[in-house]
Structure 1
Amino acid sequence: MKVRDSVILTPDRLNTVVEAFMQRPAFSFDIETYGANRLVPTQNVANWLSLASDGMAYAIPFGHPNGDVLLSRATKKKNRQTGKFDQIAAVYDAPPEQMLPSEVFSILKPLFFAEDKIKIAHNATFDLISTAKYWGEIAPPEYSDTIVLQWLCDENLKQKGLKDLIKKYYKVDYDTESVGKCVEAHPFSKVAHYAYMDAKYTWLLWKRLQKQIQEQSLTHVRRLEEDVLGVLLDMGITGAPVDEDAMRELVQDMSARLVDIEADIYRAAGQQFNLNAPAQKAQVLYAPKKEGGQGLKPTKPTDGGKKKRDAGQALEWKDFSTDADSLEKHESNAVVQKLLEYAEVSKLLDYPLSYLGVEGDSKKPTRIFDGRIHADFVQYGTVTGRFSCREPNLQNIPRPDTELGKKIRGLFVAPAGYKLVVADYGQIELVVLAHFIGRGDLYKGFHNGVDPHSATAAALMGIDPQEFIRRVKAGDRQCIDFRQVAKGINFAVVYGAGPDKVASMAKISVKEAKRFMEMHQKLFPEVYKFKEEVVRVCRSRRPPYIRTLLGRKRRLPLILSQNNGLRMGAERQAVNSLIQGSAADLIKLAMIRLNNILPDDIRLILSVHDELVVLAPENRAEEAAVLVKEAMLGEDIQKLLRVPLSSDVKIVDRWSEAK
């Protein structure tokens, strides 16, 4: 079929096409949008929808403003005043008569709402939420997302966009002019071809990836991801309510505070410099005092500095890093203290600004609509299986025990008559670690109700865990400090961190951190044997990979590298990916379970790391708390693990009140 024959302009023809698609078990679709919020699915305006299945593909316009080109935009006209040739705008003829959006979506509804049909899209949350506004509800499952399938088949592939994958698999490039970035600026026939090809190749890609999923035994985790997609759709439509007045007040307070901190930095340094210029900061921090610097010893070269060093060139002060990790080693210095504070407050300011947007700046639009933020939770944004988040990035909110984390969480507030029900898994990564090890003090501690940091600290001190907990509750400073050391070591076990990081977390010297880590290795040999076994199994497979609790694959080809640094990095990732990926499996499973049992007036609105936030009417908050606990800790999820899960559930007005 030629593309021009696949453009549907009348209700009769669209009805005929829908009847044909109703005979198929699955179809792909793609939506084209425009307007100031074209990339915000709850707010954008659609003007094309395309469909495809075996042997057929169609493009449906409903509001494209242009016909075909009468005068190309490449035409230039001489400017009599300047003598130069100016490019003039293209001139189009009138577009063909098209259906109204209401007609199109009314005819399409039986197809999209048929529960026996698989609806396939590339980045399906965007397309499904973009179409939902025209029906007043989201089309029901089943769903399949080709970008998620590709990610499951190869999480290390950087370019997962539809056009990238079409070039990779089919050697076809049908979008040399980036039509999709601004469809309303292109001629009718060109957009028709683009929309047609999007749906056609999404279908072909789905069929191809189906085979890869089966060949790699990923069917179970594929089902998990397709089920959690339905949860993300509900979250995306619902949004999270925020306190806009508090946001604006926070912006004002932080802006004023930044000015004060900047003055403190210049006063402590004895000079002014550009705080956003790493080279100038490095000069001030690392140059000798006789040259006006602070005389601090640099600890880490920049990427450019590493290249110079490898080339045998001498390094200058500007070749050393001034990032937070580098500066934290010099926290006793007054300039460093203020620089770290400046960085933290700047970061704090970025959060509300990223939500509120900047008035008049199209590149920084508001992310708040009707008092709610509709963040985009991305299934395929990490290599481990964890969610990433964008527009805005809620996963990057600092820990709740920091000023920054507390203030940002405080911006999320239940509306009048509602409550937030907040729940998080207790030490989920260490639970997963203990499950896989299946023995030892960490494993026993979970079965005896001892938190893992206390279990580790008690072992380091050589006392009974229950006695350790009693002393902590009594305010024993030594025990409290040891628990912080244990927390750092447990962090190191999961993430493969070294003594420097443990020292920073526990506020002890690197020498002490090394000693405690050596003690930990002797006291918990089963932990290190487990890590060695994970690496051994990964290395034995071709190509190397590990599988998580629910069968997710993490591919680590560099574990066979001859380069020590690359190989050791992959070994750390093998252990971390097994733990992080399994934790991701559990939280996604809990979200699916929760979404299946929540009544319509109680909604899951956020999933940040191991924490779930539910919005419930005030008179049903207790009921919601029970449902959340059941979803996270019920028998069907607990039976997957050899150690007990725990969940802390709180009913609050602001998210910050939960921790």
Structure 2
Amino acid sequence: MESEKKLYLIDAFALIFRAYFAFAKNPLINSKGQNVSAISGFVNTLNLLLKKTNSTHIAVCFDSFEITTREVAYPEYKANRDEAPEDIKFSIPYIKEIVKAFNIPIIEKGGYEADDIIGTLAKKAKKAGYDVYMVTMDKDYGQLVEEGIYMYRPSFLGTGFDTLSVDDILKKWEIENPLQVIDILGLMGDSVDNIPGVPGVGEKTAKKLIQQYGSVEGVLENIDKMKGKMQENFINFKEQAIMSKFLATIILDVPVEFDEEKLIIDEPDREKLSEIFRELEFRKLAKDILGESYEVNAERNGAQFDLFGNTESSAVNAIQSQSEKIEAGKNITNTPHHYQLCETEDEIKILIADLLQQKEFSFDTETTGIDANDAELVGLSFSWKIGEGYYVPVPTDQSKAKALVDLFKPVLENNAITLIGQNIKYDYLMMKWYGIELKGKLQDSMLAHYLLEPELRHNMDFLAENYLGYSPVSITTLIGKKGKNQLSMRDVPIEKVTEYAVEDADITLQLHQQFQPLLKTEKLEKLYKEVEIPLIQVLADMEYEGVNLDVDFLNDFSKELEIEVESTGKEIFELAGVRFNIDSPKQLSDVLFVKLKIPYEGKKTKTGQLSTGEDILSRLENDYPIASLLLNYRELGKLKSTYVDSLPQLINPKTNRIHTNFSQAVASSGRLSSNNPNLQNIPIRTERGQQVRKAFIARDENHILLSADYSQIELRIIAALSNDTGMIEAFKQGMDIHSATAARVFGVDANTVTREMRSKAKAVNFGIAYGQTAFGLSQNLKISRTEAKEIIDNYTAQFPGVQQLMESNIEFARKHGYVETILGRKRYLRDINSANNTVRSQAERIAINSPIQGSAADMIKIAMINIHEALKKEKLKSKMTLQVHDELVFDVFKPELEQMKQLVQEKMVNALTLNVPIEVEVGTGINWLEAH
């Protein structure tokens, strides 16, 4: 029976670290440059707890900084943890002051952790007739759960809470008693707390063993029934298993008093809270908690958002403000909705008639897989009113499926209707395989959020929880986890699919309505409508078209590489004087730095061994031939496994072509990314790496590949943005920019520039766009830092406009909290005023580079859109098939070749109007390598 007396015990550090890392990529910075993410997150969660629960008693428990009993017994306990970030150390005193101002007692005890204190108090409170809720995300607390004692777990970013009872713990851990959580943790260990566990035993194995033997002790009594490596590990690590169980056990007899009078919830000290909130510039929190409204008058020296101050609104701020207003903990079971299944001919006709009356609606496809070029339709869902929607199942028989889908042509190919999707490119491509081309005005909530918050995740679950306070039905609850037992959507009862599918359409509609006003506020609407949205159809058509692959060449190349890998391995063994596993970092480290006694300069890995990474080997290759061989061995091996042997496996049996997936919402810079295969990572710097491009061939003998590559586009954008007269003049005269740079930097005539001078100038030209330092240049060119600094100093003296551009970008970021491209694409830089020099320097490098790289990304996207439009308008048979970095690849119908050369060149050159000439290098060939 539920008790009227309720005690909430808060694990302070669990919430503090959670809040800090939730905003790790996008920290909340006030005008003083203080990172207040942890404080804001903690207070938001505390406020939500007080608002949403009918608690009568409360306490906040902190860990002690004194040595604990666990550390006495096992000194390595938590020894692997890095020191707490400075921003968290800064936050703790403020959080304690805020808790005190709320008149909530703080409980901490020397030598004990918060979970020990909470465990002890929970047991005492239950005996006194309380229902106890332990506010934490820490899995260890599962062992304490019993009737009347619950885990009360905050959801991501503090938008709600989940109550975990005994049944929830038993189900999660697959056990019979919550106390067995201790045994599972004892066997599997815990890397966070440095609890060792038993080697080779993960969560799955630990659960199985505890199900079988009941406890750690029971497992140890049955070692004789084990076999092989597992038996060996349990024999060798028996004592470690017992110690691990001890470390995982929460102490229940901490000498703390349970004084219920002191734990009664009281009115906060409003004056004290107001003072702290004003100091931290928590304007929104002050208004929400205290009903106050005030301005922050501090002189601004950093990135500001409405949550903290009175500057122009930002997407971050508008989103955060919204997240504080949303109702928490919503899901399909507690949220009113009307999701209707449409199966009969009459129901479908009525639905289509209704859809034709709408100006806009959200649309989603349910399919048998995530590859739209290989999946089959399972159903269609629609929503045009929040909380309502419709689901139409699609027959398994493909002829019947296409007949049903055809009924929706008047709706989906209707130019007057706006179609809203979440990653609508997938739905576009899916429908194209069924003979329908989405012709309405497209909208995409994923792309909208990508422009607003490029650094964050953009999947529906994340967006729904953080902007709507809603947890969608998980796909795994329908079809299970990945593996041989995973179901297809066709195997799931249609009632469940209906709920899942229409919920997706419903959420998409709500997200669209949330994000569209923000796009206007942030002045991103033009970029969204004129670049990202039109690009959806371009990319979908490219994916649909695919590219031809020369499998015979790849098979022959694979055999060549296998011989080379084996030959290189033998050379390595000869130099090492011993045979060993070259692919084992530990064995290789021992050979290089112990047996061969090669001097080591670098940091150790997390496991304490000397690193054999590419950066280390690259430093050694000039002096030690074995290092050069190892680099070559790795390159050949990676080339063979990652590309040469893998590419044929990606061929679609339906088309006998490769259909790569292009993603708009991955790279924060605005660049496109691709996978299956990742075209951006195909090696081009080595002769062997370049050979992979040879496998990409024209459709047939009537076609030829055309490659069009922007020439030094980022340098031209630097010249345009910096308005540097020297650099602009070099481009206008058609000079080799690297030779021209070398002549200026080294003070020589252009005709006397050596290959070495040009190479150094090239490194500076490309490095400058990434904020390269003298140290970085010295490492790259293998020269002294003094010489590198001299080169950079000469460069900035000769091209003062470039230096001014770098400085102005950083200054703009400091003032506004972001930088932007020529077209207004924003990159938020929350660390630009960080007190941590390393973190701040990284933000400064991004501030320098993002406007350049992002503008280049925007430029090629516009070119792609314009070319795609021209191909359709001219009704050409040639197709755009690939985009890699600054290059576009086309499968050209030979009679259209000259027209295509002219069309592509013109559209790429004129994509953006700059005050420097734009050059595009065009080549043709029967394969990509020849064309490039």
TM-score above 0.5: yes
Conserved 8 A contact 2:722-2:801: yes
Q: Verify: 1:57 aligned to 2:358, yes or no.
A: no
Matched ranges for 1:63-142 at <5 A = 63=395, 100-135=400-435, 137-142=436-441
Q: Structure 1 unaligned segments of length 5 or more: list them.
A: 66-97, 306-315, 358-364, 472-477
1:257 Cα deviation after fit: 2.0
Conserved 8 A contact 1:604-1:614: yes
Q: Verify: 1:209 aligned to 2:515, yes or no.
A: yes
Matched with 1:432 is 717
1:531 Cα deviation after fit: 0.5
CA–CA distance in structure 1, aligned partners of residues 823 and 497 of structure 2 = 42
1:301 Cα deviation after fit: 3.8
Matched ranges for 1:512-551 at <5 A = 512-541=787-816, 544-551=817-824
Matched with 2:617 is 327
Distance 1:99 1:444, change over 3 A: closer
Tell me the secondary structure at the aligned position of residue 849 of structure 2. Answer: helix
1:271 Cα deviation after fit: 2.4
CA–CA distance in structure 2, aligned partners of residues 445 and 125 of structure 1 = 42
- Counterpart pick for 1:352 among 644, 649, 652: 644
Matched to 2:739, the amino acid is: S
Matched to 1:344, the amino acid is: E
1:521 Cα deviation after fit: 2.6
CA–CA distance in structure 2, aligned partners of residues 405 and 379 of structure 1 = 26
Matched ranges for 1:565-576 at <5 A = 565-576=838-849
Conserved 8 A contact 1:485-1:505: no
Conserved 8 A contact 1:409-1:654: yes
Q: Verify: 1:486 aligned to 2:486, yes or no.
A: no
Matched to 1:537, the amino acid is: F
Q: Verify: 1:143 aligned to 2:442, yes or no.
A: yes
Matched ranges for 1:65-464 at <5 A = 100-135=400-435, 137-157=436-456, 159-176=457-474, 178=476, 179=478, 182-223=488-529, 224-287=531-594, 292-302=595-605, 304=606, 316=608, 318=609, 320-332=610-622, 333-349=624-640, 350-357=642-649, 366=651, 370-399=655-684, 401-414=685-698, 415-464=700-749
Matched to 2:538, the amino acid is: V
CA–CA distance in structure 2, aligned partners of residues 588 and 44 of structure 1 = 28
Conserved 8 A contact 1:621-1:651: no
CA–CA distance in structure 1, aligned partners of residues 535 and 682 of structure 2 = 22
1:286 Cα deviation after fit: 2.6
CA–CA distance in structure 1, aligned partners of residues 860 and 518 of structure 2 = 25
100-109 vs 644-653, greater mean Cα deviation: 100-109
Tell me the secondary structure at the aligned position of residue 298 of structure 1. Answer: coil
Distance 1:537 1:496, change over 3 A: same
Tell me the secondary structure at the aligned position of residue 362 of structure 2. Answer: strand
Matched to 1:407, the amino acid is: Q
Q: Verify: 1:14 aligned to 2:348, yes or no.
A: yes
Conserved 8 A contact 2:418-2:441: yes
CA–CA distance in structure 2, aligned partners of residues 479 and 389 of structure 1 = 38
Matched to 2:366, the amino acid is: E
Q: TM-score of the superposition, structure 2-length normalised?
A: 0.60
Q: Which structure would you say has the larger RCO, counting Cα contacts within 8 Å and 6 or more residues apart?
A: 1
CA–CA distance in structure 1, aligned partners of residues 401 and 526 of structure 2 = 38
1:191 Cα deviation after fit: 1.4
Conserved 8 A contact 2:710-2:921: yes
Task: Summarize deviations over 1:92-127 as a string: whole Å, max 9, x none.
Answer: xxxxxx994123201111111001222222122212
- Counterpart pick for 1:41 among 366, 369, 372: 372
Matched with 2:18 is none
Tell me the secondary structure at the aligned position of residue 410 of structure 1. Answer: helix
Matched to 2:390, the amino acid is: Y
Task: Summarize deviations over 1:525-562 as a string: whole Å, max 9, x none.
Answer: 32212201110011001xx0011011101001110111
1:42 Cα deviation after fit: 1.5
Distance 1:516 1:485, change over 3 A: same
CA–CA distance in structure 2, aligned partners of residues 5 and 150 of structure 1 = 26
Distance 1:284 1:391, change over 3 A: same
Conserved 8 A contact 1:49-1:59: yes
* Two-structure CA RMSD over aligned residues (Å): 2.3
Conserved 8 A contact 1:355-1:368: no
Distance 1:523 1:63, change over 3 A: same
CA–CA distance in structure 1, aligned partners of residues 774 and 630 of structure 2 = 24
Matched to 1:421, the amino acid is: L
1:285 Cα deviation after fit: 2.4
- Counterpart pick for 2:890 among 602, 614, 636: 614
1:587 Cα deviation after fit: 0.5
Task: Summarize deviations over 1:153-194 as a string: whole Å, max 9, x none.
Answer: 10111x321112111122222324523674234322211110
1:520 Cα deviation after fit: 1.6
1:638 Cα deviation after fit: 4.6
Conserved 8 A contact 2:458-2:665: no
Conserved 8 A contact 2:428-2:537: no
CA–CA distance in structure 1, aligned partners of residues 896 and 866 of structure 2 = 19
Conserved 8 A contact 2:651-2:659: no
Matched with 1:90 is none
Q: Verify: 1:588 aligned to 2:861, yes or no.
A: yes
- Counterpart pick for 1:555 among 819, 822, 828: 828
CA–CA distance in structure 2, aligned partners of residues 172 and 481 of structure 1 = 60
Conserved 8 A contact 1:3-1:196: no
Q: Which runs of 4+ in 1 moved over 4 A?
A: 1-5, 365-369, 503-511
Larger Cα-atom Rg: 2
CA–CA distance in structure 2, aligned partners of residues 263 and 127 of structure 1 = 51
CA–CA distance in structure 1, aligned partners of residues 339 and 420 of structure 2 = 23
Matched to 2:683, the amino acid is: P
Task: Summarize deviations over 1:232-268 as a string: whole Å, max 9, x none.
Answer: 0110111112211112222222223222222222222
Q: Verify: 1:655 aligned to 2:928, yes or no.
A: yes
Q: Percent identity?
A: 31
Distance 1:371 1:500, change over 3 A: farther
Matched with 2:60 is none
1:338 Cα deviation after fit: 1.3
Tell me the secondary structure at the aligned position of residue 414 of structure 2. Answer: coil
Conserved 8 A contact 1:354-1:367: no
Conserved 8 A contact 1:247-1:352: yes
Matched with 2:76 is none
Conserved 8 A contact 2:339-2:499: no
CA–CA distance in structure 1, aligned partners of residues 704 and 382 of structure 2 = 42
Tell me the secondary structure at the aligned position of residue 423 of structure 1. Answer: strand
1:299 Cα deviation after fit: 2.2
Matched to 2:600, the amino acid is: K
Conserved 8 A contact 2:382-2:505: yes
Matched to 1:329, the amino acid is: R
